Structure 1
Amino acid sequence: MEDHDPTDGEPLEEWAARREARRPPTGERKAIPLDSGAPHGAHVNPDAPRGVVEWDGQQWTPAGIAADYTAAAQEISPDDTARRAEAVDLPRFSALPPAPEPWRPTQVFRRP
């Protein structure tokens, strides 16, 4: 996480606004695996029990336990999943670069 450096010339208010924009909204919930290992995606061992945690504005606090990922996703709420998916910035199709020209050999090649 970035720390504010008073020598970089950025006012503290701007830094605080950037930091607040990156933080999840209060009340947001997420499912975390309860198995002994590093945190991983939902597709890894979806039948494992999950803990549901909620952001209280300062930290993630325990909010419940679910039997598996499907139950945890229902606990979090389907509206939250749709909202989080809409928050992802996708590239506009017009912003993609043009396709390159196909490669053409500069010399005619003949087999011996």
Structure 2
Amino acid sequence: MDDDASLSAWAERRDRKIGRLRAVPLVTGDGPRGTHLAPDAPRVIQRWNGHVWEPHGFAANLAEARRVLHAGTGAGTDPSPETTPGSMPKLRPGTGRHRKPGPGR
């Protein structure tokens, strides 16, 4: 591949990310880095302009930030019932080392 083709492919990938939003928690010091930590902390909504993340909005907590980030996708803030741990399908019976023996075995 020549340099012009690789450069144009890179520019195309970069341009696809323009307008992407992210929520950054407002905490002091090094604070939590994961989005799930400090769910009640306010968040700054940032927008990628192709070069840097710029301020775009503000959210009072994690739930509100998720509503802003996923407004057009229809994704809710609550997990769907089919993804909750209690509704996961049961494993088939097996005797592998990784399986715990069931009652009566």
**Contact 1:50/1:68 (<8 A) preserved:** yes
1:26: which partner in 2?
Answer: 18
Q: Which runs of 5+ in 1 are unaligned?
A: 1-8, 83-101, 104-112
Instruction: Give CA-to-partner distance per residue, 1:13-41, whole Å, 9 cap, x none.
Output: 40452364266522111101110225612
Alignment of 1:69-108 (within 5 A): 69-80=62-73
> Aligned to 2:72, what secondary structure does the other structure show?
helix
Percent identity of the aligned residues?
32
Change (3 A) 1:59 1:31: same
Q: TM-score, normalised by structure 1?
A: 0.52
1:50 matched to 2:9? The reply is: no
Structure possessing the higher radius of gyration over alpha carbons: 1
Instruction: Count matched residues.
Output: 76
In structure 1, C-alpha distance between the alignment counterparts of 2:34 and 2:74, rounded to whole Å: 15
Q: TM-score, normalised by structure 2?
A: 0.55
1:68: which partner in 2?
Answer: 61
Provide runs of 4+ in structure 1 moved above 6 Å.
Answer: none
Q: Which runs of 5+ in 2 are unaligned?
A: 76-95, 98-105
1:40 matched to 2:38? The reply is: no
